[in-house]
Structure 1
Amino acid sequence: MSRNDEVARRLEEFADLLEAQGVEYKPNAYRRAAENVREYPEPIEALAKAGEDAVAEIDRVGDAIAAKIVEYVQTGGIEELDELREELPVDMGALTSVSGVGPKTVGTLYEELSITTLEELEAAAEAGEIREVKGFGAKTEENILDNIPFARKSQQRSRLGNARPVADDLLATLRESSAVETAETAGSIRRWRETVGDVDVLVASADGPAVLEAFAEWDAVDAVIESGTSKGSVRADGMRVDLRVVDPDEFGSALQYFTGSKDHNVHLRNLAIDRGLKMNEYGVFDVSDVDDPDAGQRVGERIAGETEAEMYDALDLPLVPPELREDRGEIEAAQSGDLPELVEPDDLRGDLHTHTDWSDGRDDIETMVAAAAERGYDYYAVTDHAAGPGVFGNAGLSDGEIREQADAVASVAEDVDLELFHGIEANIDSDGVVTTDDDVLAELDLVIASPHSALDQTGETATQRLCRAIEHPHVDVIGHPTGRIINSRPGLDVDVSRVVEAAADHGVALEVNANPARLDLADEPIRRCVETGVPIVVNTDAHSPGEFDYLRYGVHTARRGWAEAADVLNTWEGSAIRSFLES
C-alpha cells in the first residue's frame, strides 16, 4: 500500500501542533503539502528513495517539508515532530473532534489549564474552569460541554473513506496469494455504512496458516494483535483489521453471516425456522427431521452455503444487496418481488458539483475538464464557490468574477468532447437567503445553494432555512444539505420530510455529496427522496482530479437509500439534465 496518506497525516499533525503554538503561515503550508502528497499518483516512498529533490517536485512541497518526508520514510519518524509532541503532549485528534475546538484552542487550554485529553476537557468544562480563560466565556464553555458526547462517539468509529482504502489494499494483497481462493470484505464496510468499527475481511482457503502468514506480512501492518490458524487481527493505518479464514464450501454462508447486519440476519433466521431450516455461518440445514436442532451448528442436511445467493434462494428470496441489509423493509420487498434495481457507479454520466483554482480548488478549469473527459463523462459542471458566509478565506467569487469565469468556461467548452455546464455554489445564509445576486444566478446553467455557516441550527429554524433556499427561483440543487462532517460536526438538524416536500414542490434536487467526510444526504433522507420522487444528484464536490474517485462513496450511499438509476439526476442524458435545469 502506498504510504501517501500516512505521510499526509504526519504533515497534518505537524500543522496542528504548529498552529496550536501560535506559529503563523507554516501550518497552511504543511496542510497544502499534505493535500498534494495524499493525491500524488505515485507512491511517496519511491520519490523519497530518489531523494529530497524528487519529493520537492510535488506541488507545494518545499525543500524543508521534502526533507522531513524523506526522514519519515527512511526512519519512521520526524525528529522535529517528536519535539513538538513533547512540547505539547495533547490528544489533538480527540480534542479537535469537539466542534468549535481547533488547534489554537487546544494550545491555549493546554497552556492555561494543562488539558491534554477529552476527559480532562470535559472535567474542566463541568468545573467552570474554561470560562475563566481569557477569550472564552460561559457560552463557549457550554458549547464545548454540549459537543463532547458527539465527539466521544465519533472517536469510536472510523469514516468509511478512511477504512475502505485499507480494506481494498488488503484484498489486493491477499488475492495475490496462491493460498487464497476468494477474499471479500464483510461487516459494515461491505454494507458501505458511513462509519465502521473495524475492517472485516473474509477469505476462502484450504490453507489457513498460509493466509495468516500473508496477512501478517502485509506491508501496512503496524502491529500484530493476534494470530491463529484461521483468525487474526492487526493494527494497520490506525485501524483494527480482523481476518477470518473459512472452508471454501462455506464461504457463501460465512459471507452472508458476517456481512450482517445483526437485525437482517435475525429476521432471516426466523424465516428459516418457520420452514424447518437452520441458518448460520456454515450454511442452511434442513432440520425438519432432527430431534434436537440445537445439538450443533451443522446439524441436519445442508442445502445451501457455497454462495450467498444460495443462502437467500433457500428461503425463496432473491439475493439482497449488502447495502440494503439493515432490516428496514428489504426482506419484505424481496418476498414481494419489489427490491429496487439499485444504481451502479457506471450509470453516472457526469459530475455537477466541482471546484477549480478560481476558488478553493487546486487545478485550473482545463485540467479538471480534461480529467472529466478522460473518465468518459458525457457532461461536467464547473461550480466554484461564490463569496458569502462560511466560505473559507477569500476563496469565493464576486459577481464580476462569476461572469468572467463564464467566458473562461465557454472558451474551454469549444475544445472538449463533452457538454460543459457553468454554475456556482452559492451560499445559504443563516436566514435561508441565497447571497449571490439574482441577476447573476439567472445567467448560469446551474445553481447549487449550500449551507456553509451557522451549522448548529436545529428544528424549525434550520428547516425553514433550507426550505426558503429551495423556494428561490434560480436554485437547482441544494448542496450537502445538512453541512455535516462525519465524526466532526453533526450539521443542521432539520425536518427531512418537510425539506423533501419543499424540494418536490419547487422542482429542486437534493445532493448526495460523495466526499467521504460528508456523505450528505445520508441514506435515510435519500430513501425519503426516492419515495417522494425528488431527484438526488450524486456529486463528488471535487477540488482536484483525484477526488473524482469519491464517486463510489456517493453511489453506494445512494444505494443504501434504495436509489435506482432513474432517481439520480446525473444518470440522465445531457438533454434531460438541461431540461431539468431550465424548468
Structure 2
Amino acid sequence: MSRNDEIATRLEEFADLLDAKGVEYKPQAYRRAAENIRDYPGAVEGLAADGADAVGEIEGVGDAISSKVVEYFETGEIAELAELRADLPVDMEALTAVEGVGPKSVGKLYEALEITTLDELEAAAEAGEIQTVSGFGAKTEQNILDNIDFAREAHARTLLGEARPYGERVESYMADVEGVEKYALGGSLRRWRATIGDVDVLVGSEAAEAVVAAFTDWPDVDRVIEAGETKASVMAGGVRVDLRVVVPEEFGAALQYFTGSKDHNVAVRNRAIERDLKVNEYGVFDVSGVEDDDQRAGERLAGATEEGVYEALGMTWMPPELRENRGEVEAAVDDDLPDLLEEDEIRGDLHTHTEWSDGGNTVAEMVAGAAEFGHDYIAISDHATGPGMVGGVGVPDEELWEQLEEVRSVAEDADIDVFTGVEANIGEDGAISVADDLLAELDVVVASPHAALDGDGTDRLVAAAEHPDVNVIGHPTGRYLNRRPGLDVDVERLADVAAANGTALEVNASPARLDLSGSGVKQAIEAGATIVIDTDAHSPGNFAQIRYGVHTARRGWAETADVLNARDADGVREFLDE
C-alpha cells in the first residue's frame, strides 16, 4: 500500500465513524478527500512535509482535513480519529461487509445493543434483538442472518486490487536484496483471482537465511508472524505476506506448484503419473522402476524453470490466469492454448462517470484524464435515475439532454474520440430507466442492475439485452466483492441473446466488482458474445484499474478479437451501429 493509500484509508475510516455517529455532510467531504488523495499522482507525504497549505492544494482537501493529513505523517496517528474509535469501538470493516449494514446501521446497533463484532451481530439477530431497534424490522434482521456467513468468509479474503499492489511492492523490494537470484509472486495473486487469502512470494537463492532476514526487515512490515530458515510470514497493512525461499535449480517447479490452482495441479500430476513421471515442488522426475518414496527420488528431468516443467510433461507453458482446470491442460497438450488479450491492447473505456452523477470530476477532466492515460476514446456514461442509486445521484432525463450537449462540446476540442452515453438502470422487469427517444440519441447505452440483486436475474438481463438501443450490459450480476454475491445469471443464455442482438457483456474492472467473473467470460465467449472491459471510472485515477479487468478476461480465455474496446474508435462505432 502506498502512503497515499494509507492516509486515504484512514480518512475513509474517519468518514465511516462520523457517519455512524450521525454527523451530517462531513463524511462525504472526508470520502471525497480520500478519493482525491488516493488518485494524487505525487507523494502526499512530501506535501505534508511542507505543511497543511501544500496538502490543501489537492482538490477537495480543506483546511481541517489537510491538518489531519499533516498530523498523521508527523505523528503516525490522528488524535480525533483515535477518539472516534474509542467512542465507537466496532469492527466497522467486518460489520459493513454484511449486505444492508452500513456505517449508520453500525452506529445505531452499537448505541442500542453495544454490537461491536460479527459474532455479536449474529447472536443479536438469532435472539430477535435487532428488530427491536428503531429503523430495523424482522425482514432486515433475517436479511442480516442470511448474509452473516458470506460476510464472515469475505472478510477473511482481500480484494485483488488491494493485495496486488502489496505483492508488487514486496516483489520490487526482494529484487534488490543481496543473494536473490530469482523471484516471483505465486498463489491466487499470480492467477489474478478476484479475492486472495494472502500474498505469496517465492525466491530462488542459495542464501535463504539472509533473504528471510531481509524480508522481515521490509519497511512495510507491521508485524512478523513467524520466521524460519527458508520461510517467513508477516502482516503488512492488514495483508498477510508469505515468503518461501528455494534453491535456484528448483525455482521453476516450486513456482508451478505454489501458483496452483489445486485443481490444475491435480490434473498436471495425473498427467505425470500416466507417463511414469512424478511432478512436485522440487521438479519433474522419471520414476519408472523407482520404489523410493523420497520426494526427489528418480531421474530429475526439469525444475529450474516453469517452461521446463511443462515441457517435460509434453505440454506448452500457459499463463497463470488459465490454471483453473477448465480445459487448459488438454489445450496445452494439443498446443491449442488461446492467444490471450494483453493490457496494452485496450484502446478506450465505455463506462465512466462525472460530477453530473457520483463522479468527482467534470466531463472535460475525465476526457483529458483518459487521453493522458493513453486511451484513444472514452464514453461518458453517468448514472440515470432509478432504484439502487446510492444517495439518489442518478441524472434525470431532462438533465441528461443537457449533459449530451456538454459532452459534444467537449468532444470538439478533445484529443481523443468522445462518445455520449448513459448508465441506465435495469428494473426487476427488465425495463430500462431512460426514455427511448434519449436512448436513441446517445452513442453508448450501458444498462446495469442496481437493485433487487438477489435470486435469478437472467430474465431481466435478457430483456435489457434485447432492447434495440442497449449496447452494453454493465456488471451483469451486480455483485460487490466481499459485500454481496449478486444475481444468479444463466450466462450462456444471456450471452446467446447478447450475441444475437449485438449487445456486449461487460467485465467491470473495478476491483470491488470484477463482474463478469473469469468463468462468466469463458461461458460468454464460448456462446459467441462480445466482451467489453470498462473501469466504471469515477475519477481519472480509476483508469489504471483497467488491468484488473484485462486479467479477469484472461481468466476467461479472452483473446483480442473477443473484446470490443480492443478495437479502434471506428471499430467501436461499427459495433454500436449494427
* TM-score (norm: length of structure 1): 0.96
1:372 partnered with 2:370: yes
2-side partners of 1:560 and 1:380: how far apart? Answer: 25
- Contact 1:278–1:293, Cα closer than 8 Å, also in 2: no
2-side partners of 1:216 and 1:27: how far apart? Answer: 37
SS at match of 1:550: helix
User: How far does residue 394 in structure 1 lie from its aligned partner after superposition?
Assistant: 4.5
Match 2:523 to one of 520, 528, 534: 528
Q: Cα deviation per residue 1:412-435 (whole Å; 9 max; x = unaligned)?
A: 223334322111111112221111
1-side partners of 2:210 and 2:49: how far apart? Answer: 31
Aligned to 2:538: 543
Q: Cα deviation per residue 1:186-207 (whole Å; 9 max; x = unaligned)?
A: 0000011111000001112222
1:414 partnered with 2:412: yes
2-side partners of 1:418 and 1:110: how far apart? Answer: 51
1-side partners of 2:473 and 2:551: how far apart? Answer: 20
Aligned to 1:281: 281
1:513 partnered with 2:508: yes
SS at match of 2:413: coil
SS at match of 2:418: strand
Aligned to 1:483: 478
Counterpart amino acid of residue 537 in structure 2: A
1:101 partnered with 2:101: yes
Counterpart amino acid of residue 573 in structure 2: R
- Contact 2:381–2:421, Cα closer than 8 Å, also in 1: yes
Aligned to 1:149: 149
User: How far does residue 261 in structure 1 lie from its aligned partner after superposition?
Assistant: 0.9
1:465 partnered with 2:465: no
1-side partners of 2:216 and 2:46: how far apart? Answer: 23
Q: Cα deviation per residue 1:247-306 (whole Å; 9 max; x = unaligned)?
A: 11211111101101111112111211221212111111122242x241x22212211111
SS at match of 1:424: strand
Match 2:297 to one of 277, 296, 299: 299
Higher mean alpha-carbon deviation, 441-450 vs 34-43, is at 34-43
Aligned to 1:439: 437
1:259 partnered with 2:254: no
Work out the number of aligned pairs and report it: 578
Q: What is the alpha-carbon root mean square deviation over aligned residues?
A: 1.5
- Contact 1:95–1:106, Cα closer than 8 Å, also in 2: yes
User: How far does residue 402 in structure 1 lie from its aligned partner after superposition?
Assistant: 2.1
Q: 1:409 to 1:12 in 2, by over 3 A?
A: same
Aligned to 1:566: 561
2-side partners of 1:134 and 1:367: how far apart? Answer: 43
Give the alignment of 1:161-310 within 5 angstroms: 161-290=161-290, 292-294=291-293, 296-310=294-308
- Contact 2:525–2:562, Cα closer than 8 Å, also in 1: yes
* TM-score (norm: length of structure 2): 0.97
1:31 partnered with 2:31: yes
1-side partners of 2:33 and 2:383: how far apart? Answer: 22
User: How far does residue 477 in structure 1 lie from its aligned partner after superposition?
Assistant: 0.3
1:61 partnered with 2:56: no
User: How far does residue 232 in structure 1 lie from its aligned partner after superposition?
Assistant: 1.0
Aligned to 1:390: 388
2-side partners of 1:136 and 1:416: how far apart? Answer: 50
Higher mean alpha-carbon deviation, 191-200 vs 58-67, is at 58-67
Instruction: List runs of 5+ in structure 1 lacking aligned partners.
Output: none
Higher mean alpha-carbon deviation, 515-524 vs 364-373, is at 364-373
SS at match of 2:242: strand
Instruction: List runs of 5+ in structure 2 lacking aligned partners.
Output: none
- Contact 2:32–2:360, Cα closer than 8 Å, also in 1: no
1:114 partnered with 2:114: yes
- Contact 1:131–1:138, Cα closer than 8 Å, also in 2: yes
- Contact 1:2–1:45, Cα closer than 8 Å, also in 2: no
- Contact 2:496–2:528, Cα closer than 8 Å, also in 1: no
Aligned to 2:355: 357
2-side partners of 1:498 and 1:289: how far apart? Answer: 51
Counterpart amino acid of residue 350 in structure 1: G
SS at match of 2:105: helix
User: How far does residue 395 in structure 1 lie from its aligned partner after superposition?
Assistant: 2.8
Counterpart amino acid of residue 464 in structure 2: A
2-side partners of 1:85 and 1:466: how far apart? Answer: 43
- Contact 2:495–2:528, Cα closer than 8 Å, also in 1: no
